[in-house]
Chains A and B, each alone.
Chain A
Amino acid sequence: MPAITYVVPDGSVHVVDVPVGQSVMDGSVRNNLPGIVAECGGSCSCATCHVYLDGEFADRFDDATDEEQELLEYAEGARPTSRLSCQLIVTGSCDGVRVTVAPEA
C-alpha cells in the first residue's frame, strides 16, 4: 500500500498507508489527522481539503480539472503547488508522496 506523508498545520509529520483508489483526503480522514476538514465529503465543492503538493510529485496524479483550478484560484493561501486532496487519487506510483496541509484548509 502506498505510504503518503502528511505535514499538518501544527508542523507534525504523519506517514499513512493509503489504499490504491482512495484519495489523499480519504487517507487523512481515515486516520483522523488534523487540518483536512473534508466538509463536502470529497465532491470538489468546499476546498476544505487544500494541500500543497511538492512539484516533484505533481506527475503522480491526474492534472487538476477546471473546477478544481477555479476553487483553488481564490482559496486562502493558494500557491502554484495547491491541490484539493479529494481529487488526488492514489495509484501504485504514489508511494513516498509528501503533501503539506494548507493552514486554512
Chain B
Amino acid sequence: MARNPGPRPAHTDGPQQAAGPEARVVVVGAGHGGAALVALLRQGGHRGEIVLIGDEPEHPYQRPPLSKKFTSGELEQVIRPREFYAEQQVVLQLGERVTGLDAAAQKLTTTSGGTFGYDFLVLATGARPRPLPAPGANLDGVAALRTLADARVLRDWLAERRRLVIVGAGYIGLEVAAVATAAGVPVTVLEREERVLNRVASSELSAILTAAHGARGVDIRVDAQVCALAGNGAVREVVLGSGGTLPADGVLVGIGAIPNTELAEAAGLACAGGIVVDETARTSDPAVLAIGDATVRPVAGVGRMRLESIPSATEQAKQAAATILGTPPPAPELPWFWSDQLDLKLKIAGVVLPGREVVLRGDPGIGRFALFHLERGQVRAVETANSPAEFMAGKKLIASGVLVDPVRLADPAVPLRDVSTGAC
C-alpha cells in the first residue's frame, strides 16, 4: 500500500483511510449538511458504519423556520422522520459533543464516553452566533438565534408582546423583524453599517428592503452603534453611541456567525476564517472532510469563501459523499440563497459583489422585481423578489456566461430566453 503523501503522519498500525462503500464514517454536526450527507451515503449504496454526532438534543431539523415561522405551528420541522436514522442504519448520537480527537489514530471520543474510530471523519460543525461586544450582553432577555431552543425563547417573547430590539440588519434580523411586526410587536432594528444587509446584498436591494420594512412599521436605524445593554438582571434598555437610549424587553443579537473550527484546529487542519476545503470537501488531512458553514470553500469565479447557506451545505454533502464512496465528483453548483421577509420571497443566485452594473427588471413598488448584476455584459448574480422565473432564468444566464442586452433584460415584456445577444 502506498504511503500517503499528505500532512497526516504516516502510520502502519492504526486504521487506514480507504474510500469505498465499506468505510467507517463519523459525521460531527447534525445540521443540514450532516443530515444530507448520511442520507446521500446510503442512497449511494454505502454499507459501512455511519455515526452522526449532534450537540443538540433534537433530531436534525429545518433551520429556515427558526427565523421565518417561529410564531407558527410550523416552527418545528424535522428534516427526516425520527425513525429514519435507525432504518438507514445511521447511529445517531444526539446531545453529544466531541471531547477528544486523535487524528493520527483516526478516532474520537464523546461526552458520554463513546469512542468511535473512522476511515473518514466529516466535520459539519457549523457556526455559532457572534456575541455582541458590548457591556450587558449577558443580561437576561438578550438572545441570539441559531437553534430551535433559541427560537422557542423568541416565540415566547413575542407571545408576551415584549418590545424587541434587534441588533444587526442581516437576514436573520430582518426576517425576525418582519415576523414580529406582523405579530403586532414593536420592533427596532439597529445596524451599525450605513445600510441593511451591507455584507451580502446590493445597495439597490438594501434600499428597496429598507423602504418595504419601513412601510410595514419596522423601525430600522442605520449607522447606529450599540454601546451597552443596561438593566438590573434583565435587559431594560439599549444605550446607543449617539448617547440616547431605547427601551427594550428583549434584545436579539444577529451580527453574524463564527465558524466552529476548534475541533479542526485541534486536529491540526488548515484553517483560514473557516476550515479550508477543496471542491471534493477534503481538508488538509486526507481522512478528514468538512462541509457547511464551518468551511471556506472554492466558489467558481470568486475564489475561496465562506458560504452560509443550506444549498452550499447540501452541495458539499454531495461532494463528501462522492469522495467517501470513491465516485466521480458532482458538477459544481451556483451559490444561491433564499429569504422570506414581509410578503417578499427573496431568492438570490451567484455572489453579489460591488462595482457591477445593476439592471432592474420589474417593479419594487408592487414587490415583484429582479436585480441583475452584470460584468462585461455577462450576468454574474441576480437578486429577485416574488419572481421565480427571473430567479431560475437568472441562474441559467449566470451559468452559461452568455452576453445579454441590458435594455431587453430590463423590459419585463421581453421573455428572458430572448435577452441574450447571441454571443458568449
Contact = CB atoms under 8 A, between A and B. Distances in A.
B311 A39 contact: yes
B310 A32 contact: no
A interface secondary structure, majority:
loop
Given A45-B347, A46-B311, A33 B43 contact: yes
Interface magnitude class on chain B: 20 to 34
A89 interface: no
A40 B310 contact: yes
Interface string B390-401: 011101100000
A45 B194 CA distance: 30
A32 B43 contact: yes
Contacts of A74: 389, 392-393, 395-396, 416-417
Nearest to A67: B388
Contact of A30 (B80, B387, B388, B393): B80
A70 B392 contact: yes
A30 B84 CA distance: 7
B392 A41 contact: no
A43 B64 contact: yes
Contacts of A47: 392
Nearest to B77: A41
B84 A32 contact: yes
Given A33-B43, A34-B43, A41 B64 contact: yes
Contacts of B396: 74
Contacts of B80: 29-30, 32
Contacts of A30: 80-81, 84
Given A37-B314, A74-B416, A32 B39 contact: yes
Using C-beta atoms within 8 Å of the partner chain, give the interface range for chain A.
10 to 19
Interface string A40-60: 110101110000000000000
Contacts of B81: 30
Nearest to B81: A30
A91 B314 CA distance: 30
Interface string B70-99: 000000010111001000100000000000
A46 B314 CA distance: 12
B157 interface: no
A16 interface: no
A75 B310 contact: no
Contacts of B389: 70-71, 73-74
Nearest to B44: A34
A67 B385 CA distance: 12
Q: Name the residue in A29, A39, A47 with the highest tally of chain B Cβ atoms < 10 Å from its Cβ.
A: A39
B116 interface: no
A40 B347 CA distance: 12
B90 to A, nearest CB: 10
B38 to A, nearest CB: 10
Contacts of A41: 62, 64, 77, 79
A33 B347 CA distance: 27
A45 B88 contact: no
A71 B349 CA distance: 14
Contacts of B84: 30, 32
A40 B338 contact: yes
Contacts of B392: 47, 70-71, 73-75
B310 A39 contact: yes
B345 interface: yes
B146 interface: no
B42 interface: yes
Nearest to A76: B396
Contacts of B310: 39-40
Given A74-B389, A74-B416, 8 more contacts: A32-B42, A34-B43, A34-B44, A46-B338, A67-B345, A67-B388, A74-B392, A74-B396
The 7 tightest CB contacts between A and B, nearest first, are A74-B392, A70-B388, A70-B389, A74-B393, A71-B388, A34-B43, A41-B62
Interface of B: 39, 42-44, 62, 64, 77, 79-81, 84, 88, 310-311, 314, 338, 345, 347, 387-389, 391-393, 395-396, 416-417
17 contacts: A29-B80, A32-B39, A32-B42, A32-B43, A32-B80, A32-B88, A33-B43, A39-B310, A40-B64, A41-B64, A71-B389, A71-B392, A73-B393, A74-B389, A74-B392, A74-B396, A75-B392
